[in-house]
A and B are shown apart, each in its own frame.
Chain A
Amino acid sequence: MTNAVAELDLCALAAAIAAGDVTSVAATTVALERLDTVGSKLNAVVRLDVERALRAAEAADRQRASGAALPPLHGVPLAHKDLFYRAGDLSAGGSKIRAGFRPDVTATVVQRLDASGALDLGRLQLAEFAMSPTGYNEHNGHALNPWNPAYVPGGSSSGSAVAVAARLVAGSLGTDTGGSLRHPGAMCGLVGLKPTWGLVPTDGVMPLSASLDCVGPLTRTARDSARLLSMIAGHDYETPLKGDIRGMAIAVPGGYYRELLDPGIAVRLEQAVVVLRKLGVTTIETAPPDMALINALMQVLMSAEAATIHRRWLIERPQDYADQVRARLEPGLLYPATRYVEALSLRAALTQGWIAACIGSADLALLPAISLHVPTVAATTEGDPADVAAFIGKLTHCTRGINYLGLPAASVPCGFDAASMPVAFQLVGRPFAEAAILRVADAYQSATEWHLHAPVAAELNQTKREPCPSSICIPMRSASA
């Protein structure tokens, strides 16, 4: 029973609860037990609200028994990154500095999930102040990648990705300021969706950079992502998933997006493109504009806005920041105000330029999610700090610029590398093109099985996944459709 419930994805679990095949109490009990056992081993959990969750589950089962109409996530247990506020509950944001912070507001997205019937089991690990693409957290320790604990899980929404990949919960909210949903999505084999900037409310969510922050879901499937996005954005993204993507066009930008690309990752991306072509998609090659400028503008915006909200603590408690985190915040104290305003003022024009250059006449662009193989914890923490910082910067090569552009993007798992770690591509769309991204990702997952593989650390005793280091292995279901 435990494994059978844990193996259900979000939509399947919601359907099982709605049909009465699984009670909300049973699903919640399984999730709480697994978060406590497997989740603790993987250092994915910050805190669980056991009694409150079980009371809510009992109420959900009573409501179903009454014959009342049920909302789309009725009785489904979820847990989220520890920066989503619920009034009165602790919310440390992965930091030492905010260890005792209890907000007096509840995030709008949390309220929307409550209204959708979802249960809130507690909060999950993250990088300190949501500021690391690897999930680095000096104070709480790293969350561990369930595919191999020697490797980073990706960040900053590390605990969310670990919990979903290890089948502890079927979905989780995270945030993305420079790739913080797509990095852990790619590194843990999940769909990490960063919506268009401004689509999903960020009030009641610990800020990092207001011009860049986005709230989004981490899930196993694109359909699950569509379900969660529909709830938090207040718009239906699930109905348009029809499976048929014939006639769509996808651009594959070269240049900058190929500069750091590892040959092993490139093979997986090429295989994904082959699958999409078999599904009826046409592809075109495009060339990106000056990404060094876009990255510089993103860096100015992020560090200036982050340093503004951290300035007092940077002065009064500099020792309470990890060195990696403080080093990314402090430059924001020093940029001229004119650079910051220029960064904001150039944004719309550069975004239109990027779309014209990278997407062109196509519907979406396909990029690497991460150009490199998932790194080990040691590779991102040991050695000369300047070398480590330079290496970590390479992990965000294909993600951080998209935040400056404000565009929607998602990581989509597309295989494993020779070390049996996940590989992903990234789909990027025009503003508010979430439906198109999810439609293509859903069709891809309908034709492949990468998202069905579970890591051994999930302790499900199922062996669906093959490591598949070969460059020609493409597990497919019906890509010829």
Chain B
Amino acid sequence: MSEDLLRQVAADLNFASDAASRVPRMAALMADNNRRIADVPLPFDSTPYAMPLWLAAADKR
């Protein structure tokens, strides 16, 4: 994402104008993290609840 867009998200969507002014400090890290995750093919039948479900099944105490 461009720095301008990040500034806009910070200022307009999260109402955090101070954070918008600090966007250049965060931009490189965010771009890297975004790209790495976006490159992973996520199965269509995925769920954000997979982890608690798997852990519950693994709990043999």
Contacts and interface: CB of A to CB of B under 8 A. Distances in A.
A103 interface: no
Contacts of B42: 342, 345-346
A196 interface: yes
Interface in A357-392: 386
Contacts of B60: 432
A347 B37 contact: no
B61 A432 contact: yes
Contact of A293 (B19, B40, B51, B53): B40
Nearest to B50: A348
Contacts of B23: 334
A247 interface: no
Contacts of B38: 339
Interface in A410-461: 430-432
Interface string B42-61: 10001111111111001111
Contacts, number: 106
A84 interface: no
A314 B33 contact: no
Contacts of B55: 196-198, 348, 406, 431
Contacts of A198: 52, 55
A296 B14 contact: no
A344 B47 CA distance: 8
A431 B59 contact: yes
B48 A344 contact: yes
A211 B46 CA distance: 17
A345 B37 contact: no
Contacts of B32: 296
B22 to A, nearest CB: 6
Given A341-B48, A348-B51, A431-B59, A327 B22 contact: yes
A50 interface: no
A311 interface: yes
Contacts of A349: 50
Contacts of A160: none
A342 B18 CA distance: 28
B16 A300 contact: no
Interface in A267-311: 292-293, 296-297, 299-300, 311
4 closest A-B pairs by CB: A344-B48, A296-B33, A348-B50, A348-B54
